[in-house]
Structure 1
Amino acid sequence: MDSDRRLRRIVVVGGGSAGWMSAAALTRAVGAACEIMLIESEQIGTVGVGEATIPPIRLFNQLIGLDEAEFLRRTQGSIKLGIEFVGWGRQGHRYFHPFGPHGLGFDMVPLHQWWLAAQAAGVPGLPPLHEWSMAWALAQRQRVTRPVADPRNVLSSFDYAYHFDAGLYARYLREVCEARGVQRLEGRIVHVALRAGDGFVEHVRLDDGREVAGDLFLDCSGFRGLLIEEALHTGYEDWRHWLPCDRAMAVPCASSADFTPYTRSTAQEAGWQWRIPLQHRTGNGYVYCSEHLDDTRAAELLLSRLDGAALADPRPLRFVTGRRRQFWQRNVVAIGLASGFMEPLESTSLHLVQSALSRLLALFPDRDMDPWTVAEYNRLGIEEFERIRDFLILHYKLTERDDTPLWRHCAAMPVPDSLQYRIDQFRARGRLVSPGPELFGPASWLAVQVGQFNRPERVDGLLPLRGVDGMAMLRRQHEAMHGTAQAQPGHRAFLQRIGAAAAPGPV
């Protein structure tokens, strides 16, 4: 690359988790070779509440140089082994979406096919499929350990992520970034100046009159999309016809004795409720469809379903599920909520920040912002959003509930062809097909397909020809997993053992 065209200054517009994750990734990648500035206003709040994440967050934290124990202490974090879904397929029914596969493969035919065959044969006392998940074996006992590398050991067959306070995470990253030379400007942006000729953002003006110029701008301004939408009018693709929830009510409550190393998602009359246990409190929220429930009643219902005393008034959030038509336009890249919103059902919000930054660093531009780079960035981003979208819709579509208007609508609604094909393939033979690389792999799709009663009509054609005692192998693995899980430390004990337990502090 011509050094005369290299980026000299990158401006991050907005703080919160997205802004400070962006600054941290950029400083780690470019060091002092390019000036990084971040503009945020303490007058403007952030969306962040207690956050649940997925395993790639561990890689991101490692890449930006965070120590795991210190990160957990500073963010009052806890361990997450997966998500328990309650009442999604049927009222009162539960299943677990684990981080990691279901069991260790023991044959050419996938393990789940042996389980499906046993179920079809009516094997008495057959446990649910998630009982062959090491993550669930640990989680249901509130046990936690780290995975091992030996593939013969059942402790190699799970992964983990975190629950943490997003506000504390942003504050922690700010300290890290400022120590690395990121310049933070306090102020509210009142004007965006576009360059004559090509329409690039030339500078932004703050409420005190300061003008901040840059070569590349990262829009981390949240739902508003200050640069990507208000200045560049990129457009938005609305997915509410598939993902109907458009409101959330969030409130923290006192911690309960049930310090689970997993998130719980409970389907309710007009949406679903999250439960996220942190060290110092439990995060709760009701995600719902405004067509079927008003804000006042949503707050009342949420408060009536808490494990402990509410620590604040319920906080309302409004959103539209979907994405920007382009994530990168001219010299603006939208990161986080400015790029679009996937409801928090599978904890993808911070991952989408992380993956956007990974794409940006892989396709890093110079000041010309060549169109091939921009086109590839947008292509990959759209592909990722749409594959995650299909996985989220799967949860709503696969339901036998007909007790409320929302669930009747979801069961009957047409879904994208790309999703219907995957549902039909599993229903035919229990096959997990994929269009290509995606965030949620076969184990995730399997958990939801089986957990929400998409029953295959026939098993894999190779299975009856194998001559393998599949039930004996299933029994041995089940015993090994659950015996091993019982020997591991409790959740709080694990955090104390690795030095990650935070001292009690103000909520």
Structure 2
Amino acid sequence: MDGKAIRKIVIVGGGTAGWMAAAPLAQRLCQGPGQRCEVVLIESPDIGTIGVGEATLPTIRFYNQALGLDNADFIKNTQASFKLGIEFKGWGHLGNRFFHGFGEFGPAVDGMAGHMLWLRLRLSGMTGLPSHEDWSAATVMARQNRFTLPQSGPPSAGNAFSYAFHFDAGLYAAYLRDYAMQRGAVRIEGTIVDVELRDTDGFVAAVRLQDGRRIDGDLFLDCSGFRALLIEGVMKAGYEDWSAMLPCNSAQAVPSARAPSLTPFTTSTARSAGWLWRIPLQHRTGNGHVYCNQFTSDAEASRVLLDGLDTEALDEPRQLRFTTGRRRQAWVKNVVAVGLASGFLEPLESTSIQLIMDGVGRLVELMPDRDFHPALAAEYNRRMQAQYESIRDFIVLHYKLTRRDDSEFWRYCAAMPIPDTLRHQIELFRAAGRIVILDREGFSEPSWFSLLMGLGVVPQSRDPWLDRFDGDALRTHLERVRRAIAGTVAGMPDHGDFIAQFAAAPPVAMPRPASMPH
């Protein structure tokens, strides 16, 4: 590299965030003619991580593809399964059940999305109309536990869905660690005890390890998790606390035995003071309870978690505390925070990996030279702020629209203040059947439609442009689409059978505890 190009990047912290940052940086900067940038990752043996099943969004596929990862090899090495969406139980009201599937609700017609065509029939009072979920191929597949990869070719029921993955987060980090180190990244094991700043401008010059080693660098990525060692501990970036509208501040996670049937979706079950997650992997099931400790005790939360398991627990629940929110600045001087160091949003819509991936992607796009022009940091911070706020609003939506009044927690959620941006989005859909997307890099119209309808918001009126469609002809068209989806899904293999043939992971010996609390 010539001129003022970055010569050395130091990543503080390993885990998912650290190695997701190291892999593409090593791929781009440590290889090829003329490249002279070092990528060094410092990982402490004293700091553990909570090994959980991780659920993702479909865009994880683009990250993997950009690295050139083989799909089957990745699935085998991370004990992964496929994910078509999220099943929600008990959200909105007791007994409620709906699905947030990945993909459209049938094809668009004359520029009108499939879900809007269904809404045209629903609001016209047509009787006997099936649920909008019948037009979501991903949802129909999930109901029947079926999966296959989307078919190539023109749009059809065989490719009218998208998919993501569930995987073991620890195994994914190890997989990317091997990838990054094979491409030139250097791993240093040690514990940081001091940070050295430049006298001239307050930039980080180096970090010092417990054994006395000094690791210098030009650019430092803070992947130290909630500790936020550099971005907060040194740069004092500040934190915007969103607890008032996202009151959950605790979680417990526990693995359990693999279920006999491998479901191709995540499950989120609302409980009296929060919600339970269930993430199926090839070798086990990941489970957790996200809750607010102002409305329940840790002991009761543990009981609810363990009682909600559908297979035998393999360990003791592990406790986690957090404050929902974001760093006011994720990039300060020559420090960029990635992952939990940059903020935390509960994993209700599987956005943790997405925020890491997009944070790294934006850094690659806005890579500075050693002058670190402030405009680059300003743009990075603007885009990260917009993404965090967009995801925040989407998650708050799940809580705010509740009609549950069976616990103090849900009564609080129904009454709590929400951002003006979210209030506008809800009111626009309720009044006129329109969905406004404020962040084009965030959740799309079908996702908002799934949540709004699933939580019981039915528009009072519809887009008048929809009235140009003849009702009877439109119903005939939609019924043809619904039958095509149903017929195509009926011919797909069982999800577990597909994985067994496509990318079965080797068996893993799971721990069996001597006793478990109940």
Relative to the length of structure 2, the TM-score reads 0.95
Residues 66-98 of structure 1: per-residue CA shift (max 9 Å, x gap): 111111101100000000111111111111111
Q: Is the 8 A contact 1:492 1:501 kept in 2?
A: no
Aligned to 2:477: 473
Aligned to 1:40: 43
Task: Map 1:260-299; keep pairs closer than 5 Å.
Answer: 260-299=263-302
Q: What SS does the corresponding residue of 1:352 show, helix, strand or coil?
A: helix
Aligned to 1:241: 244
Aligned to 2:387: 384
Aligned to 1:26: 25
Unaligned runs of 5+ in 2: 511-518
Q: What SS does the corresponding residue of 1:193 show, helix, strand or coil?
A: strand
1:194 has 2:170 as partner: no
Q: Which stretch of structure 1 is more off in the superposition, 60-69 or 430-439?
A: 430-439
Residue 436 of structure 1: how far off its partner (Å): 4.2
Matched residues in 2 for 1:419 and 1:181: separation? Answer: 45
Residue 114 of structure 1: how far off its partner (Å): 3.4
Q: Is the 8 A contact 1:222 1:337 kept in 2?
A: yes
2:173 pairs, out of 152, 162, 170, with 170
Q: Which stretch of structure 1 is more off in the superposition, 452-461 or 467-476?
A: 467-476
Matched residues in 1 for 2:282 and 2:23: separation? Answer: 25
Residue 122 of structure 1: how far off its partner (Å): 4.5
1:313 has 2:316 as partner: yes
1:363 pairs, out of 359, 366, 378, with 366
Aligned to 1:497: 501
Q: Is the 8 A contact 1:52 1:276 kept in 2?
A: yes
Residues 357-386 of structure 1: per-residue CA shift (max 9 Å, x gap): 110011011111110111111111111111
Matched residues in 2 for 1:112 and 1:187: separation? Answer: 53
Aligned to 2:414: 411
1:440 has 2:443 as partner: yes
Matched residues in 2 for 1:389 and 1:88: separation? Answer: 17
Matched residues in 2 for 1:202 and 1:129: separation? Answer: 56
Matched residues in 2 for 1:109 and 1:194: separation? Answer: 56
Residue 140 of structure 1: how far off its partner (Å): 1.0
Q: Which stretch of structure 1 is more off in the superposition, 431-440 or 215-224?
A: 431-440
Q: What SS does the corresponding residue of 1:88 show, helix, strand or coil?
A: coil
Matched residues in 2 for 1:422 and 1:180: separation? Answer: 45
Residue 399 of structure 1: how far off its partner (Å): 1.3
1:63 has 2:66 as partner: yes
How many percent of aligned residue pairs carry the same amino acid? 52
Residues 455-504 of structure 1: per-residue CA shift (max 9 Å, x gap): 10012212233225222222111111011001011112211332x11121
2:215 pairs, out of 198, 212, 215, with 212
Residue type of the partner of 2:483? E
CA RMSD of aligned residues (A): 1.4
Residue type of the partner of 1:474? L
Matched residues in 2 for 1:114 and 1:340: separation? Answer: 38
Aligned to 2:129: 126
Q: What SS does the corresponding residue of 2:499 show, helix, strand or coil?
A: helix
Matched residues in 2 for 1:370 and 1:471: separation? Answer: 57
Residues 134-174 of structure 1: per-residue CA shift (max 9 Å, x gap): 10111111111111343431122111000000001111111
Q: What SS does the corresponding residue of 2:177 show, helix, strand or coil?
A: helix
Residue 391 of structure 1: how far off its partner (Å): 0.7
Q: What SS does the corresponding residue of 1:274 show, helix, strand or coil?
A: strand
Q: Is the 8 A contact 2:30 2:185 kept in 1?
A: no
Matched residues in 2 for 1:61 and 1:309: separation? Answer: 32
Q: Is the 8 A contact 1:8 1:215 kept in 2?
A: yes
Aligned to 2:114: 111
Aligned to 2:143: 140
Residue 127 of structure 1: how far off its partner (Å): 2.4
Unaligned runs of 5+ in 1: none
Aligned to 1:155: 158
Q: Is the 8 A contact 1:427 1:456 kept in 2?
A: yes
Q: What SS does the corresponding residue of 2:453 show, helix, strand or coil?
A: helix
Residues 237-287 of structure 1: per-residue CA shift (max 9 Å, x gap): 001111111100100111112311000001110011000000011100000
Matched residues in 2 for 1:350 and 1:465: separation? Answer: 42
Aligned to 1:179: 182
Q: Is the 8 A contact 1:104 1:154 kept in 2?
A: no
Residue 48 of structure 1: how far off its partner (Å): 4.0
